[in-house]
Amino acid sequence: MIGEMVGELTGNVVGKRLTRHYGGDLKIERTIESQGKILDTEVTFMATFWSKERPQGGMFSKGNGIMMTKTGEKAVLHGSGISVQGKGPGWSMRGIRYLQTSSPALSRLNDVALVFEIEFDPDGTVHDRMWEWK
């Protein structure tokens, strides 16, 4: 069951490239940087994820990130998701993340899945929201 919204971040795509390893699938790799609040704690977040085309359309993505609090505590996140057409000219990714941390401010998220939705605008702006899945 989807629980409360635990955080909201805004930022930008700061890097992207095409990759193909050993003749495999062509992948698009993106790095995003964002800031906001998670559980009322101010954080910065940086993540890199790769995306590849799905046979039925859209993209499947998988990635890793690191979140830092203003006091220097960190959390590592791993996640995956699928893309869908956005509400306007952009696109949206929806999926699940798992967080690992020893930060007292964020530690309650060690034992839950985080459902997320990221809206990507054509100019590279991202709006990232996360909910607790109990």
- Give the residue extent of every domain in the chain: 2-133
Alpha helices by DSSP H, 56-114: none
DSSP state for residue 124 in the 8-state scheme: S
Question: How high is the mean pLDDT of the chain?
Answer: 94
pTM for the whole structure = 0.91
In whole angstroms, give the CA distance from residue 96 to residue 72. Answer: 25
Which CATH class for the 2-133 domain?
Answer: mainly beta
Number of other CB atoms surrounding residue 86 within 10 Å: 14
**69-118 per-position pLDDT tens digit:** 999 999 999 999 999 877 778 899 999 999 999 999 999 999 999 999 99
Which tens digits make up the pLDDT trace of 4-32?
999 999 999 999 999 887 878 889 999 99
For the chain, helix, strand, coil in percent to 5 are 5, 70, 25
